[in-house]
Structure 1
């Protein structure tokens, strides 16, 4: 058997979790193979074409899943080098300190993490450096204590600065979003936002351009694309993962690594574990699926002229920790990338083009998200070999409260027409939780360092491991957890 077939580490998936883990482990000199089922998005892809991106879903996987009733649907996930981060909005926000403790919500309880915010703080620092975050840590009263971001915040364009001032006069406290983007490089490639547009290595700090790029600078790290992992097999001790089986180019291949890390995304990580019959002595694999309760909101004022190219520069946490009935937490608000006339027309085909153009010119676009609470019956299962997603929304009273609070605030700020639309289960609004970490092997899949309880050489380093969804974008927390797992694996390699 050749050395190529027996690497030290196999990482399954090149998204935020897998790429960051690779970056953290690459300096060890370990022989690392990263398996990615997709391909690199080519330089000449229609990456700035709204009709191709939002209309015919040029980058979305053609696969279908089943919903809880057994009906097929297109889930909106992406399989390519860099994973879903290739199309993310590049908001790299820390969980609030309170998110690590038990938090009571209107319709349930978000449980405590197995460690406090101080454990993850140094890894957040490292993740922000790796992903070159632009931000201002002083602007958000809910921001946990930490040093300055690596770069100053992305500035507001004049129209957005005027909108920020209007919200401040209405009593709100907008803060600069921590963003992973080189704005000048991004705009040089096309005058569009980046929320939902794929990056072709032209300014967005994502899993490919940062984490994977750092990992692949080391000659001991290799990336295999078009490599779909079909199963993991244990050795004679019935505990240690001995084989990784995958299909590539029509052939079945096998690797026999020392350590395996799964980072396929919350749904596909659970599906792979279920398909392989692994890490499930607790019967928790696939359970506690969470997906942020999220809505788009458009605020229109005929007097407001929005000529911004990229508007996603500020957010609001005024109601993150309180503000609902009984002063309960509600969630986070942030600007969306510009909802252009083309995007409006795609979303509402019956809308006349002239009306879409007028609305876009006089609108400000927001994304509202609230925490989805962990529920063992909200879960990923398999129906034959097909993924079945039984998502049970939770905490919708909080989300309705957030929408109501934001609508009132926007009207105080002088926007007389406010429209909103709830995203349904076909939109992957930060899926997480299906192989959650914990300190009790009977109620979790991995230990607090990401190692599965059942298999000493198997780790989960993606959103599947998140114990709670909180109400902020999960990318930076996934990266921080992956860097922490990398330190654990380094110790394992040394032993």
Structure 2
């Protein structure tokens, strides 16, 4: 490293991968600059409810600079995060470690026992993210989930979720309880339920409260509202990184140079950028495997809704996800909630219609539901107090299915598109998810004493599943024929470029992937040399 570059390291993105890369590289003596497309949020900057779309949704061209991104591909609708802290700002603070089937998936590069290799880094990730191994409260929703698991014959798989939340005295601010006073002050969780809209209390262990706070104290510069549009190799080594202001109608590009560049913009952001760089010739040697083995965590979002707020049932009281169970050995179900007033996402919900039949039949089934009970159907579909009347069921699988992503140029812009990939087809309908939704609905009706039905989503009706956990497409691999980065997260053919985010994950974890992304990032950065010292990682052979 020397002074001929503006920065030693440029990190693109500040989510679970980028935040680790920023902190660990500055600790090793590097001069680090982070570009984040989203804005920076103080606790009271977050939307009070999801109806404050300018602070909740991400649509910068329309003046919306919130935390919730929504992307659509032909085969999936993707929910992702935006802002300094990435997906940690709007994720459900749920930090499971996957089971052993994840680590033995054949798409991991050989030569490593990946479960053992990542074990110490999971421990570091849990400590840094402040994981409480068992959600400490039990209320009506937790009882409903336990009962649904019993009804499905899988009661032994029910558990309270591990969550990244500070459960101090509710609403009371205390000095940093996690990093011996080196981190920010924290406020005890009030169980308001709005974790996924943005924690205005200061209880949620977002990356802004741990990795990024510590990184900035050590000299990392985070520049929000800058979108990276180009990365090009420089003659003699290093890279030129070009950015524009996020959402600006008039682009004024700005370019800096760096010895190392870390792609950590989340799977959507990293894949979009890499595909565009390959198509435009900025990075022509990128592996032909780019976009292959893109994962959706084999996910579905269903649930249950009542016609009215069930008496004595506080469905919106608690953190976003509190419990889970397994419908079968590869299908994992979690309850999800939004807080009172955060009803916007209810616009995606509709009646539950089983798949495996033509679209006209699925739409016909919804029409039959309406004609049989028009008043009940309209009441179930109302957005009024939606978050207080229902339970969302987030369903994930370890199934080996995937999509293949590529880019198409339309109207002068490159846009991602999808096709079915290796393994099983990416599912548009999960029978286990529907069984779980119906079991939850039955228990909710018993608990609340009012008419309750299982619910699906509009995208699912049209054969397009929803996922909050978009992964892969630039996976770790033993060769460029099998993936985009080597086992140390260096891009094949460009060892000064790195992918350190969910795009590098090679398999469906079947649980929330945030802890795994963090652990993989910790492992990758642990292999970096101290600034100015010899690199002990083996050179790329291809």
Give the TM-score normalised by structure 2.
0.73
Does 1:464 pair with 2:503? yes
Give the C-alpha shift of residue 358 in structure 1.
8.4
User: What are the residue-to-residue correspondences of 1:210-225 with 2, within 5 Å?
Assistant: 210-219=210-219, 221-225=220-224
Match of 2:374 in 1: none
Deviation (angstroms), 1:272: 1.6
Most deviating of 343-352 and 259-268: 343-352
Bigger Cα displacement from structure 2, 281-290 vs 474-483 = 281-290
Query: Structure 1 residue 166 and structure 2 residue 155: aligned?
Result: no
Would you say 1:445 and 2:484 are equivalent positions? yes
The reply on whether 1:258 has 2:247 as its aligned counterpart is no
| C-alpha distance in structure 2 between counterparts of 1:91 and 1:433, whole Å | 20
Distance 1:89 1:411, change over 3 A: closer
**Contact 1:16/1:475 (<8 A) preserved:** yes
Cα deviations by residue, 1:194-239 (Å, 9 ceiling, x for unpaired): 34212357111122222211211102x21122222121111336xx
Residue of structure 2 equivalent to 1:129: 127
Superposition pairs for residues 91-240 of structure 1, below 5 Å? 91-102=94-105, 111-112=107-108, 114=110, 115=112, 116-135=114-133, 153-167=134-148, 169-170=150-151, 171=153, 172=155, 173-183=157-167, 184-185=170-171, 192-200=192-200, 202-219=202-219, 221-236=220-235, 240=237
The answer as to whether partners of 1:345 and 1:352 remain within 8 angstroms in 2 is no
Deviation at 1:26, TM superposition (A): 2.4
Distance 1:487 1:414, change over 3 A: closer
Partner of 2:293: 288
Structure 1 length-normalised TM: 0.79
Unpaired segments ≥5 residues, structure 1: 103-109, 136-152, 323-328
> Hey, what's the Cα distance between the residues in 2 that align with 1:447 and 1:48?
43
The reply on whether 1:273 has 2:274 as its aligned counterpart is yes
Matched, 1:40 2:10: no
Aligned-pair distance for 1:267?
1.8
1:410, CA displacement in angstroms? Answer: 4.0
- Residue segments in structure 2 that go unaligned for 5+ positions in a row: 62-69, 172-185, 351-376, 447-451, 535-542
The corresponding residue for 2:180 is none
1:35 is displaced (CA, Å) by 1.3
1:83-98 correspondence runs (5 A)? 83-98=86-101
The answer for the alignment partner of 1:368 in structure 2 is: 395
Work out the CA distance in 2 between the residues paired with 1:361 and 1:252.
46
Corresponding residue for residue 420 of structure 1: 455
8 Å Cα contact 1:279/1:453 also seen in 2 = no
Instruction: Please give the alpha-carbon distance, in whole angstroms, between the structure 2 residues aligned to 1:45 and 1:491.
Output: 37
DSSP 3-state at the match of 2:416:
strand
Match of 1:316 in 2: 324
RMSD: 3.7
- Find 1:306's aligned residue among 313, 322, 333: 313
Question: Deviation string for 1:362-386 (max 9, x for gaps)?
Answer: 6444222234645463445554433
C-alpha distance after superposition, 1:270-314 (max 9, x if no partner) = 222222232754312233322232122116599874225115454
- What's the CA shift for 1:192? 2.5
Q: 2:82 is matched with which residue: 79, 83, 87?
A: 79
